[in-house]
Amino acid sequence: MGWGNIYKRRMKVFTLAVVIYLDYKALQQREKWTSKTKKAGLWEKAHERNAKRVLSLVVELEGLWVKLGQYLSTRADVLPPAYINLLKKLQDSLPPRPLEEVRRTIEEELGKSMHDLFLNFEDIALATASIAQVHRATLRDGQEVVVKVQHDGIKEVIIEDLKNAKSIVDWIAWAEPQYDFNPVMDEWCKEAPKELDFNHEAENTRKVSRNLGCKNDFQDTNMPSNPVDVLIPEIILSTEKVLILEYMDGVRLNDSESLQELGVDKQNLVEEITRAYAHQIYVDGFFNGDPHPGNFLVSKKPPHRPILLDFGLTKMLSSSMKQALAKMFLASAEGDYVALLSSFAEMGLRLRLDMPEQAMEMASVFFRSSTPASEALENVKSLVEQRNKNLKILQEKMKLNKKEAKRFNPVDAFPGDTIIFSRVVNLLRGLSSTMNVRVAYVDIMRPFAESVLQCNINKGPSYNAHWVHDTPVLSNVEAKLRQLLIDLGNDDKILGIQVCAYKDGEVIIDTAAGTLGRYDPRPVQPDSLFPVFSVSKGITAGMVHWLVDKGKLKLEDKVANIWQEFGTNGKDQIKVHHVLNHTAGLHNALASLTRENPLLMTDWDECLNCIAKVEPETEPGQKQLYHYLSFGWLCGGIIERTSGKKFQEILEEAFIHPLDLAGELYIGIPPGVESRLASLTVDMEDMKKISGIAARSDLPSSFQAQEISQMVTTLPAIFNSLQARRAIVPAANGHCSARALARYYAALVDGGSIPPPHSSSSSSKPPLGSHQHIPKFPSHKSPKKQKRSMCVRKTDISTGVDYIRVPSDNTSTRGGYGNGSNSGKLFSNPRIHDEFMGVGEYDNLTLPSGEFGLGFKKSYSNDGDLIGFGHSGMGGSTGYCNIEHRFAIAVTLNKMNFGGVTAKILHLVCSELGIPLPADLNRHAESLTNDGSNVVRPMIN
């Protein structure tokens, strides 16, 4: 192409763009003075004349613009009928190139004359498209074939058109930033030239055919779980510019009369095409990126299967991207905000602001069911209304004026791998609209998306050598523990788990294993965040004690004196120690309210107001019953009213910063950590043990077997939701890693002394404390990381070492302790353990012979000696410490059970270290049998 031709093509494209733009702008002004009855006619005429302009220029220029016209011709779901009716001619009905040119290309590419190659070659092309045209022929051996021949000089035309299109996209992005299509254009520039090499297309065709099993005659015994029934022509021969394929007798998708004569079920036809693409995307990770109607035939022979053609534009997905796309689809189908934002992070899609509702809405619209072309106008109106609504929300959230909001692009980074995927989904939607059928993408694609995740998850330790995260083994105890976890994983008792333990101030176990969720096959990392339910109570109680230690609060204080609104309905005598000891008489408070509307518990202020007005069931200090969710709101209200600060501010000040737990211990997660969240599921076999709860007299009436059975089945859905995870529910909504939780208890077991830096002890990556505690979106400047202030404390290291350290290349900085400003101590009270457990001078503040101290569950040995304290969650996650042996351990898991897994883990670790196991856990572990026949008392405390 000479510079003259290049300039002319460029000017024609830009001129047409300006003419169409001004035409519609003028019409917008004109309709203001036009009656309603005439408006529709004006718009229809405008669409028709502009569609003719587009078609005329595309036919003249050919090349890349034909591709664009083909794409537009499939969007019957959103474009006016005038464009669809005219542009669909581009699918296979372009003017053919001269026969002399076609023959010359064939002979040059194949090195033989037409006579030597073919018995017969039809002069009239079957179809002509943007890059090539197809002729029917018969080979010398008698085989019926089609010959695809590339247009002469098309490569130079395509490359020049890409440059022109890039210029237009750049201009649009400058003029209207919210319409920045550069990521789409960049991906197209990368992929489009590949279509110009037919050797590439031939290999793609063979690969997709193998993946879909088009040549296999499956027997009933080895039929794939999600088979598809489509045809793909066999490749006979290929060069860069010529492709010879098996001839298949079929009817074009846009030939409605022929389809009707054959009795083709268009609904089944389009659904099978959609299934074929779902298989390519989610199962194979290798798919055809150009499913416009011109690239399909329908076989004339029953059962009239779809014939897939033209694999020049294909896309290969990495395993991680394939899983992220599957996760995005399932998150959209189930309304799981956490999984959706997590999938965005995994695929590299970054947003400039936190708008999860709009993100879910966008995904739901993207995967919505298709509609017939007749409903295109309503679709467009709905999409415009929704966009205007989102703009208004954006404007309010970002405090922008209307003009600024329109120019704001909420996407900070768009991954190139998803561009062709998005194009395919839109083309499939347009295809179904063109065929006038409705396709429920959620129903059709779901099995394929589930299979790609489930096949990885179901392959437990016995199939996955990396099921246990690759961190150094720190002790012989940890080596034995990992083998136990592998055994439990093979028995399907573990989905994902973390275990971390400290002995004498050092990390001796730091293990992560399994996967993050049922639909999330990514491996659990040391910094993964697990929902730990009631383990949160041990953290919340610690915050109350921290305020007591700082002189801001007294255990004997009446709550009503701190929290004025609380002193109503007979609660004026309730004291702080009653709340911590579970004897405030409010164990069932708000239980009925949360049953009627579970998500009401996510409204912090409303729950504080409700708990302040509720009436107690018993006098304070009476029979000890486990406090329900009320414990968290009671303590939370006390914390905020005492300190004058927000709950989470005190959490950071008291524990996060001093212990260097940034980013790995939350009560109410901030935006930006979704990709590290583990998702909950339930061990249905363990549900059989729920009857063991009935014998527990310490549980409130709202927390009995029947209620818990119902709760356990709904908890995963509630606590996997973004609304619940972001809420402050101090009795049930902790999200943490085991290493963060273990470090917290390691500090408590040493009377508040801060242990040495975790990362230098265990070598787990990323180091504990390396995350920003409140992540920011990319458009915001990240806060500067605080400098560590290193303090030294003296400790009494036990002389009888009852475990073996595994040598490590990493040198532990034994002299450095913590980074807070508390001189290496969280608490100054030398009798803080007595305070936690409500013994000694604090004995009068607890119920005699009660299970709870002041906020913590007391642990006894089989001999009846008080040995430690901790707190377990409903799903089995646990934080626990033994005082005498300076031992602390944390277990976090996402497959909810009633304590069997945790009991086995603690039984192994404690027995190996010569540490007495808490009596209740010991009984629990001993009662477990391989067949699960024994009914055990589930761990909830």
Q: Are 337 and 722 in contact (CB under 8 A)?
A: yes
Report residue 890 as tokens.
């944390």
**CB-based contacts of 194, cutoff 8 Å, min separation 6:** 200, 312, 313, 314
Which residues on neighbouring strands pair with residue 679, listed in sequence order?
none
* Rounded Cα distance, 915 and 72, in Å: 71
Catalytic pick among 290, 504, 549, 920: 290
* CA–CA gap between residue 121 and residue 913 (Å, rounded): 84
Q: How far is Cα of residue 331 from the mean position of the Cα atoms in its chain?
A: 7
Instruction: Identify whether the C-beta of residue 531 lies closer than 8 Å to the C-beta of residue 473.
Output: no
- Find residue 757's DSSP bridge partners: none
Strand partners, 869: 858, 881
Cα separation of 297 and 248, whole Å?
9
CB 338 within 8 Å of CB 719? no
Query: Which residues does 281 contact at the CB level (< 8 Å), separation at least 6?
Result: 287, 317, 322, 325, 421, 424, 448
**Residue 341 to residue 563: CA distance in whole angstroms:** 38
Burial 74-89 (b: 16+ CB within 10 A, else e): bbbbbbbbbbbebbbb
DSSP code string of 904-922:
HHHHHHHHHHT-PPPHHHH
Judge whether 290 counts as a catalytic residue.
Answer: yes
Q: How many other CB atoms are there within 10 angstroms of residue 200's CB atom?
A: 18
The β-bridge relationship of strands 144-150 and 132-139 is: antiparallel
d(CA 28, CA 23): 9
Give CA angle at 6 (5, 11), nearest 5°: 95
**Assigned token pair, 212:** 């879909």
Contact criterion met (CB below 8 Å) for 610 and 590: yes
CB 485 within 8 A of CB 879: no
The alpha carbon dihedral of 734, 738, 739, 744 has a sign of: positive
As a three-state string, the secondary structure of 204-251 is HHHHHHHHHCCCCCCCHHHCCCCCCCCECCCEEEECCCEEEEECCCEE
Q: Classify the C-alpha dihedral 757-763-764-765 as positive or negative.
A: positive
Name the residue type at position 214: C
Q: What tokens were used for 565?
A: 């609104």
Question: 3-class DSSP state for residue 253?
Answer: coil
Which secondary structure element, helix H or strand E, spans residue 871, and what is its range? strand 866-872
Contact call for residues 307 and 230 (beta carbons, < 8 A): yes
CB environment 616-627: b (16+ within 10 A), e (fewer) = beeebbeebbbb
**Nearest CA to 894 among 682, 741, 710?**
682
Report the distance separating Cα 47 and Cα 687, nearest Å. 62
Going by DSSP bridges, is the β-strand pair 132-139/235-238 parallel, antiparallel, or unpaired?
A: unpaired
CB 838 within 8 A of CB 829: no
Do 343 and 330 contact (CB within 8 A), yes or no? Answer: no
Residues in Cβ contact with 818 at an 8 Å cutoff, skipping those fewer than 6 apart: 658, 659, 660, 754, 755, 757, 790, 791, 824
Taking residue 420's Cβ as centre, other Cβ atoms within 10 Å add up to 24
Any idea which residues carry the catalytic annotation? Answer: 290
